[in-house]
Structure 1
Amino acid sequence: MSEHHHHHPVSGKNLFITIVLNIIITLSQIVGGILSGSLALLSDAMHNLSDVVALLIAYWANKISSKPKNNQKTFGYKRAEIIAALFNASALFGIALFLIIEAIHKFLNPETIDSILVIALGFLSIVLNAISVLLIKDDAKHNMNMKAAYVHLLTDVMTSVAVVVGGLLMYYFNLFWIDSIITVLIAGYLIKASYALIVESISILMQSVPDDINIDELKIDIEKYEPIDNIHHLHIWKLDDHDIHLEAHIDFNENLALKEVTKICDEISDAIKKKYHITHMTIQPEYEKNDNKELIYS
């Protein structure tokens, strides 16, 4: 028994414009960072690059989610988004570490930085990111991928403000070492965000039980039904960000008619889905079957 969730359609036009704006920000900051000698600009560019990839993943996921399942891909293409997210987060984690190492080197050996270019490109990033936030604000209320992108874009505005403040301090007070400090702060944020995404993606790919589901509590909820003797061979996993699957064997203590068994399984399924937000549940009813009765057994 399964439920179908209809996700709010993402505005393709607004998403496309947002992607273009963030590509402009990223490329201008990479070029500006190289020309000005500012690592803070480069680190902010990497932050914006993460948004470009996140937006592309959201756009891609929105397109491929409608592709039909087939005999080879019975789950469809839902995991493609998770694989892409893991690759993106791992790459950003490595880039952030590199930026921190370079920032330490530049802090110990400060160089003159073209602060005017840093300030100008920082302001450009603030303006274009603010426009991007407004463009996807409505989609973020209904779509998890877009919500994540929305939060990233908001943090981009804040990191760009930090870049501008650093540029002003360099311009008026020649505090060129501040560039390294801002770089470390932005790279540190990138590491924190990337690490969380890496852990979550690996957890989904490893078919781990979602953190908010307590297996022992779920076992009690199922075994409290009078005709049920025990639940065993339990598996719970997330297919993607939205869908949680459960399969289990359930022993009945009576040799009931199939119609009655089906009714009880439906009652259990409806109650468990509602309480634990499970989207697809498969129950195998059994009676006096000689198999292993451990809750977790493969």
Structure 2
Amino acid sequence: MEHNHVHIHKHEVKGKNLVYSILLNLLITVAQIVGGIISGSLALISDALHNFSDVLSLIFSLLAHKLSRRKASIDHTFGYKRAELIAAFINAITLIVVALFLVYEAATRLFHPEPIKSGLVIWLALLGIIVNGGSVLLLKKDSEHNLNMKSAYLHLLTDMLASVAVLVGGLLMKFYGWFWVDSVMTLLIALYLIYVSYDLIKSATKMLMLFTPDFIDIKEVVREVHKIKGVNKLHHIHVWHLNDEELHLEAHLDCSNDIKMSEFNVLLEQVEIVLFEKFNINHINIQPEFKKEDPKDFIVQD
């Protein structure tokens, strides 16, 4: 079975940005926990809880990032490249768990609102916006290229938005005495967490399950490869993401003629160019065949 891949320029994800974000979030977590206890604000404590979950998720993302850079070995032939997918999936799940906890706490407090020291809430919310906003800016570019970084980025982005919600609630409590707003804001934060987590869980699950990427049409792949002279039929096809950067295709290629291996190498190079340029598939594993009797369906259950 011939294997080939295309070397492409990869965006270099910077792990140090995760380290900076971890330190910033530890700072705001401690400040909000102390401030929430003193002020009696559930929204502030819930925001601190979310921040602490972010610290854990960022540490997990950092470890996964370090693991993914390890080289392949005899025992780990793919290395640890899927570690970041696992991290992204777990981080998304933690967002859901935190959100459900906040829904429960907000519903309980909504029917029993308590006086809250809104001044402290306002200042700590402003601190949260500044710190989380800085972390968001650090990870924004990396999040566009890496699912693990996107999960960390979403944690921080929702933290920043949560701090905005806490600030609005603090202002309404200060000027209008609407203490029930604290619970409402907590509920809104929780619902938003669930909303942003859904797509992340879906994307990570599809990659972990080796599903065909949404943007890949297998039939279109076949049509393009069949245009190449010397190809009889591409079949027994598998297409999957190893990680965010590597898109693999494995298939059998039935040749039109009984050609030499050197001639097949030329044919393979043409197939590789088509798959990369039209579908961004950069790792190709092809088994050559000529009139071999086996299933010729595009998709065959192994």
1:222 aligns with 2:225: yes
Q: Which amino acid aligns with 1:2?
A: H
Partner of 1:122: 125
Of the three residues 68, 77, 80, the one matched with 1:65 is 68
Q: Deviations over 1:41-63 (max 9, x none)?
A: 23323443454345434433442
Partner of 1:189: 192
1:272 aligns with 2:288: no
Partner of 1:295: 298
The number of residues matched between the two structures is 298
Q: Deviations over 1:226-257 (max 9, x none)?
A: 32221211001111122111100011122122
Q: Which amino acid aligns with 1:81?
A: E
- Rate the CA distance shift 1:138–1:91 in 2: closer, same or farther, 3 A: closer
Partner of 1:88: 91
How much has 1:5 moved relative to structure 2?
4.7
Partner of 2:101: 98
How much has 1:220 moved relative to structure 2?
0.9
Task: Judge which range, 60-69 or 178-187, deviates more.
Answer: 60-69
The answer to whether the 8 A contact 1:57-1:81 is kept is no
Partner of 1:232: 235
How much has 1:201 moved relative to structure 2?
1.4
1:44 aligns with 2:41: no
- Rate the CA distance shift 1:242–1:112 in 2: closer, same or farther, 3 A: same
Q: Deviations over 1:19-61 (max 9, x none)?
A: 1011211233234334433332233234434543454344334
TM-score (norm 2): 0.88
Partner of 2:159: 156
Partner of 2:175: 172
- Rate the CA distance shift 1:241–1:139 in 2: closer, same or farther, 3 A: closer
- Rate the CA distance shift 1:240–1:134 in 2: closer, same or farther, 3 A: closer
Of the three residues 241, 246, 249, the one matched with 1:243 is 246
Q: Which amino acid aligns with 1:3?
A: V
Task: Judge which range, 286-295 or 192-201, deviates more.
Answer: 192-201
Distance 2:7 2:151 in 1: 22
Q: Which amino acid aligns with 1:98?
A: F
- Rate the CA distance shift 1:72–1:184 in 2: closer, same or farther, 3 A: same
Identity %: 48
Partner of 1:24: 27
Distance 1:8 1:191 in 2: 29
Distance 1:92 1:265 in 2: 45
- Rate the CA distance shift 1:138–1:237 in 2: closer, same or farther, 3 A: closer
How much has 1:144 moved relative to structure 2?
6.3
How much has 1:77 moved relative to structure 2?
0.5
Distance 1:134 1:202 in 2: 27
- Rate the CA distance shift 1:133–1:5 in 2: closer, same or farther, 3 A: same
Q: Which amino acid aligns with 1:171?
A: K
How much has 1:118 moved relative to structure 2?
1.5
How much has 1:106 moved relative to structure 2?
1.7
Q: Which amino acid aligns with 2:29?
A: T
Q: Which amino acid aligns with 1:19?
A: I
